[in-house]
Amino acid sequence: MAKAHVKKGDEVVVIAGTERGKRGKIISVFPASQRVIVEGVKMIKKHVRKNRQNPQGAIIEREGTIHLSNVMLASRFEARAAKRGVPQAS
């Protein structure tokens, strides 16, 4: 099990996959499966059974996991873009 290049609370950019280009803060890291949860990225719908909080049941939207290799620290991403001379989008 290798050490992850990011940790909880880091600002990252998604560099590959369907969510490419999105930014967010890391909510949690799963080193065993080499996956991370990024705030506002890879939203999935989860069906929840009836319980006290949801007496009717519900469909909750939450973040899914992304592989570690598909994210990069935002500071490193910006440094790479500056080195290439790419104008930044605000």
Per-residue pLDDT of 23-67, as tens digits, reads 999 999 999 999 999 999 999 999 999 999 999 999 999 999 999
pTM for this structure?
A: 0.82
Task: Find, among 25, 22, 19, 21, the residue nearest to 7 by Cα.
Answer: 25
* 19: Cα separation from own chain's centroid: 9
State the burial class of residue 43 (Cβ atoms within 10 Å of its Cβ: 0-12, 13-18, 19+). Answer: exposed
Domain count, the chain: 1
86, amino acid identity: V
What phi and psi, each to the nearest 5 degrees, are found at residue 66?
Answer: -130, 145
| Assigned domain for 65 exists | yes
**Can you give the CATH number for the domain in which 47 is found?**
2.30.30.30
Whole domain around residue 80: which residue ranges? Answer: 11-84
